[in-house]
Amino acid sequence: MDLNPELNTPDKMAYLAKMIDLYIAQLRLLSAETEKDLFAIAYRKVDDAVAGMPPGQKLSLSCKKGCSFCCHINVMLYKGEAELISSYCQENNISIDKKYLLEQVRIPQKELLFSKTHSACVFLKDGE
């Protein structure tokens, strides 16, 4: 979607982004849902959209057993996402190595990618 050229200026785009952030903040205040609940709704909507795609248009994942390339990329997440992942793991008996996570948190982000012992995702087990 192309924006009207008169609206497509850095100042106006920054203002629009600020207004969207304020609108989202107001929605959160008006709803009784937690941040975790908001992420659960968003993830469910994405899952539903992907599930509803025609077979020829579905997204394919490169992830497969034996590949751990993406598992060493530093991923930032919101507190609500972390809570949602934690709940999912508890409900599905997936263990989380909390000691490993605490050790990861202590490593500066700029150094984490190059850590030989702590760059991998907490869910990566034996390189898979």
Domain ranges of the chain: 1-30
What average pLDDT does this structure show over 44-63?
77
Which tokens hold the place of 52?
Answer: 């509803």
Residue 31: per-residue pLDDT: 65
In 1-128, alpha helices (H): 10-30, 35-51, 79-91, 98-105, 109-112
What percentage of the chain has pLDDT greater than the value 70? Answer: 84
Higher pLDDT, 6 or 123: 123
**89 band by pLDDT with thresholds 50, 70 and 90:** very high
Phi first, then psi: what are they for 13, rounded to 5°?
A: -70, -40
Q: Is the pLDDT of residue 76 over 70?
A: yes
Q: Is the pLDDT of residue 61 over 70?
A: no
Among the listed ranges 6-10, 13-17, 21-25, which one has the minimum average pLDDT value? Answer: 6-10
Q: What is the dihedral of CA 51, 89, 87, 38, to 10 degrees?
A: -30
Q: Is the pLDDT of residue 42 over 90?
A: no
